[in-house]
Structure 1
Amino acid sequence: MARIQAPPSRSGHRPKPWSKTSAEATPPVPPGLPARLAAAAILAEVVGNGRAIDEYFAGEVVHSRLLGLEPRDRALVRSIVTVSLRRLGTIRKILAGLLERGLPRKSGSLEWTLVVAAAQLLFLDVPDHAAVNLCVQAVRNDPQSQPYAALANAVARNLTKLRDNLPEQDPLIDLPQWMAARWRQSFGAEALERIAAACRTEPRLDITVKGEAETWAERLDGDLLSTGSVRLRGHTPVPELPGFEDGHWWVQDAAAAMPARLLKAQWSERIADLCAAPGGKTAQLASAGAQVVAVDRSAERLKRLASNLERLNLSVETKVADVVTYEAAPFDAILLDAPCSATGTIRRHPDVGWTKRLSDIASLATLQSRMLDRAVSLLRPGGRLVYCVCSIEPEEGETQIAALMRRNPDVLRDPITLDEVAGQAEWLTDKGELRTLPYFSPAPGFEGMDGFFAARLIRRA
């Protein structure tokens, strides 16, 4: 494939950009262009500023580029951004091979516009002409990238020729190097390869059912997993599925559903769900008949939790508080789903690879230890505590629990048993703690699940 040389940014005569010189109507915006501009802008901010995708689509403030877009276009933007992040290493390598001198300096949004085009042409079912034309239009839309419209056109057209004969790339190229290095050391080369391969594939959606899971698996065209979750086969929008509006089930990864089950909530027990939002685990505890106090430091997140539980016809007490300083009468049991690096969710949330930093782990581990100490103090003697994180970093999991037990002799492990993890011995550590990894599992019915850690503890009576 021919490599393309970028034109000098200031050489020769170029036609001046179009400008309105009369009262003539402004040229119409090409259909699909706002969505591509939004995708490029959000990608630049996710990678450059470390903000999660969800903050732009489900946060308190919607990204300005999404305003006015139809739901269908918003879904397209999210799809483009997700695929771009999932295959960012591959895309960057391919683009580097097509650009003889690399990306021009001071070229504005050119890089992310090309990434968006590559994601569509190589990994999404988008017609060639639409992706190429909209790429060029997007480049012309930015005064800084406008001089490189011809370059963008040539790159996009070469991408169309590559698609059917795309060179195979090592999956590790799509993982940040520091993450790959840590996971190789913690879990070995084979596990790392499996994680990298799984991260390239869009996972199926898991749900937790309030009632008879087998019945809902049949109604929703899903598979009943041995852990009790239902894994959907199709891609129908969640609100359009049977049972959603009536509150019969909620979306929750199969791994995320396990910690609340391990707490073994009993009818009328007083249970605290610390760091409760968005509320999937809260719903599990309330469904078991427990008297749940959902604690979170974010009032806005607790409002969304309350809204979710209202749909599910479940009632809990909510409390806006910092877990580290939270005070209450002793609880029978506590679930602490602590803030973490969320590296175990990278298969489902590829932005994790580009928004987290190595330094985050140490600071989060410090916070987790303070929360654990507070949670233990809120337990009645003989009470149960399940600590969990959607991280696969040992400092946030196994090391955290070992340190807690060294500094607090009143804390005992209550080992998780094989039957509590659907007989999957690979999910249990030698200490009886839950450890899943975000890769394809050899277990029947488990194409993959998020990476999770959970430990069950008892406060000495």
Structure 2
Amino acid sequence: MGLEARQAAIRTLDAVLREKRMLAHVPADTRLVPADQARAGRLVSLVLRHLDPLDACIAPYLDRKPPLPALLLLRLAAAELLVAGEDAHGVVDSAVTMAKRNKGTVRMAGMINAVLRKVAVEGPERFADLPPQALPDWIGGPVRKRWGKDVLHAIEAAHMPLPPIDLTVKPGVTLDLPHATQLPTGSLRFSAGTQITALPGYEDGTFWVQDAAAALPVRLLGDVAGARVLDMCAAPGGKTMQLAALGAQVTALDLSQSRMDRVAQNLARTGLSADLIVEDAFDHAGGPYDAILLDAPCSATGTIRRHPDLPHVKDRTEVEPLTRLQMRMFDHALTLLKPGGRLVFCTCSLLPVEGEFQVTAALKRHEGLRVIPADAVALGGEASWQGPEGGLRLRPDFWADIGGIDGFYMAALTRM
């Protein structure tokens, strides 16, 4: 009946929605076989991507909002019925069985049974007419202000499907991988759920997982062969590997030892090398570097299509401290850069205050600093990606017909 996977999903949803823990910080249930672990993860993702529409389909059959344990059961079962299109009998029976096994929900098993039977019959039509899960106002407000209501709704719609998986392949390597789509920017795309570790070439280290958007900032640095390049916030190492594969002499810097251990593991698998330093970026006094990549800490709001838990856990209080940190890191990076060198600033954020506004503010703070205009078309993108300040703005609603792309901002700058 898949009860183990469903129960694991309920525990994880409780950790996210009640405890406000990011999925990355919720330990996997090692008691589950891999297939059940994967199924539990898919169920959690379905609920988080459609939480408000699911609640809207459940609410008409409730006299009052039930306690969270019962509500989570209803949400999970409704996601299976309305999003995944699972068989109603099996879903309802499993939900009732789970309710009866939990002392906190045993008295509500009859209510859960009655509600889900009605959702199974009447819910699909209601669900089809509902808008997608709305972004919280601290994200949606700035998006609407910058690009308008239609773009906001398009971004929200782009967050609903499970995202595809993108790979970056080592330069000069040609792979004949089944079911791969070659993106215009050069990344390879696979459908969600593809077992990447089973693909030919994985063990040989010929590729790594990296969203197509995240693979573009390195390309703004231009030809880095032989250049001394600082990857200022390196973990988990995708951009470090890109730089090393292009022949750069890479210094990878990160504050976290555990995250840097992951960079080392990725480099070892791919047969690439970099000088790894665990250090606070503000204490780093190396250089001067020919080029610096600053993928600054940010709200990560551009990655919601991959991390649907984020809007349910984070809030606006994190944004201002992050923007101040980004500004300080931007200024410090310039002190490590060789005159005439190139700095790429980027964030995986949808918020202009973490992207476009950071660059325009830096131009005012630093005399002689200028943006090197990016050519989106030459990179395999579209002219609409180019911002008036010269950077690139990517949004999840771009490439919607082929699976979208993460929200990202990036700009290359130089100063004599």
TM-score by length of 1: 0.85
Q: Show structure 1 runs of 5+ residues with no match.
A: 1-30, 57-61
Retained in 1: the 8 A contact 2:377–2:383? no
- The residue type paired with residue 23 of structure 2 is I
Retained in 1: the 8 A contact 2:142–2:352? no
Q: Find the counterpart in structure 2 of residue 77 from structure 1.
A: 40
- The residue type paired with residue 47 of structure 2 is S
After the TM superposition, which parts of structure 1 deviate over 4 Å for at least 4 consecutive aligned residues?
none
Query: Does 2:408 match 1:448?
Result: no
Q: Find the counterpart in structure 1 of residue 213 from structure 2.
A: 255
CA deviations 1:307-357 (Å, max 9, x no partner) are 111111111111111113322131111101111111111122211221221
Seen in structure 2, the aligned counterparts of structure 1 residues 431 and 440 have a Cα distance that, compared at 3 Å, is closer
CA deviations 1:340-380 (Å, max 9, x no partner) are 11111112221122122112211110111111111111111
Rounded Cα–Cα distance in structure 2 between residues aligned with 1:122 and 1:259: 39
Seen in structure 2, the aligned counterparts of structure 1 residues 275 and 177 have a Cα distance that, compared at 3 Å, is same
- The residue type paired with residue 203 of structure 2 is E
Rounded Cα–Cα distance in structure 1 between residues aligned with 2:332 and 2:252: 15
Retained in 2: the 8 A contact 1:108–1:144? no
**Residue 339 of structure 2: SS of its match in structure 1?**
strand
Q: Find the counterpart in structure 2 of residue 11 from structure 1.
A: none
Per the TM alignment, residue 238 of structure 1 is displaced from its structure 2 partner at its CA by: 1.1
Rounded Cα–Cα distance in structure 2 between residues aligned with 1:413 and 1:314: 31
Q: Find the counterpart in structure 2 of residue 4 from structure 1.
A: none
TM-score by length of 2: 0.94
Retained in 1: the 8 A contact 2:185–2:381? no
Query: Does 2:257 match 1:299?
Result: yes
CA deviations 1:144-203 (Å, max 9, x no partner) are 222111111112222222355344344354432443232111111121121121111222
Q: Indicate the larger mover: 284-293 or 345-354.
A: 345-354
Rounded Cα–Cα distance in structure 2 between residues aligned with 1:152 and 1:170: 22
Rounded Cα–Cα distance in structure 2 between residues aligned with 1:240 and 1:179: 37
How many aligned positions are there?
A: 416
Q: Indicate the larger mover: 123-132 or 143-152.
A: 123-132
Retained in 1: the 8 A contact 2:376–2:392? no
Q: Show structure 2 runs of 5+ residues with no match.
A: none
Per the TM alignment, residue 394 of structure 1 is displaced from its structure 2 partner at its CA by: 0.9
**Residue 413 of structure 1: SS of its match in structure 2?**
strand
Find the partner of 1:113 among 68, 73, 76.
Answer: 73
Seen in structure 2, the aligned counterparts of structure 1 residues 447 and 76 have a Cα distance that, compared at 3 Å, is closer
CA RMSD of superposed structures (Å): 2.0
Find the partner of 1:319 among 272, 277, 281.
Answer: 277
Q: Find the counterpart in structure 2 of residue 188 from structure 1.
A: 148
Which runs of structure 2 are paired with 1:151-300 in the superposition (5 Å)? 151-212=111-172, 215-216=174-175, 218-233=176-191, 235-300=193-258
Q: Find the counterpart in structure 2 of residue 146 from structure 1.
A: 106
Per the TM alignment, residue 54 of structure 1 is displaced from its structure 2 partner at its CA by: 2.3
Seen in structure 2, the aligned counterparts of structure 1 residues 125 and 306 have a Cα distance that, compared at 3 Å, is farther
Query: Does 2:23 match 1:47?
Result: no
**Residue 333 of structure 1: SS of its match in structure 2?**
strand
Seen in structure 2, the aligned counterparts of structure 1 residues 177 and 395 have a Cα distance that, compared at 3 Å, is closer
Rounded Cα–Cα distance in structure 1 between residues aligned with 2:11 and 2:82: 20
Q: Indicate the larger mover: 241-250 or 108-117.
A: 108-117
Seen in structure 2, the aligned counterparts of structure 1 residues 173 and 223 have a Cα distance that, compared at 3 Å, is closer
Q: Find the counterpart in structure 2 of residue 18 from structure 1.
A: none
Rounded Cα–Cα distance in structure 2 between residues aligned with 1:181 and 1:296: 32
Which runs of structure 2 are paired with 1:117-132 in the superposition (5 Å)? 117-132=77-92
Query: Does 2:306 match 1:356?
Result: no
Q: Find the counterpart in structure 2 of residue 3 from structure 1.
A: none
Retained in 2: the 8 A contact 1:294–1:318? yes
Rounded Cα–Cα distance in structure 2 between residues aligned with 1:362 and 1:48: 25
Find the partner of 2:329 among 347, 371, 376.
Answer: 371
Seen in structure 2, the aligned counterparts of structure 1 residues 291 and 212 have a Cα distance that, compared at 3 Å, is closer
Rounded Cα–Cα distance in structure 2 between residues aligned with 1:34 and 1:255: 36
Query: Does 2:359 match 1:389?
Result: no
Q: Find the counterpart in structure 1 of residue 292 from structure 2.
A: 334
